[in-house]
Amino acid sequence: MTEDEFFEFVRTRDEKWELIDGEPMMMAGANQRHQDIAAAANRYFRQSIPL
């Protein structure tokens, strides 16, 4: 599948997709635990790194 074909393909879909080696692959959504861990890591790094 070309990039143009892929962009046309995802235009008609609600899910998130990525193109890997010419094949469209549906991306898995993040669950709540993943979101909580990512938010905690973000807060930690923002507090730890001086600006």
Question: How many Å apart are CA 12 and CA 27, to the nearest integer?
Answer: 15
What pLDDT was estimated at residue 49?
A: 86
pTM for the whole structure: 0.55
What pLDDT was estimated at residue 21?
A: 96
pLDDT means over runs of 10, the chain (51 residues): 95 93 91 93 91 72
For the chain, the 3-state helix, strand and coil shares in percent, each to the nearest 5, are: 50, 15, 35
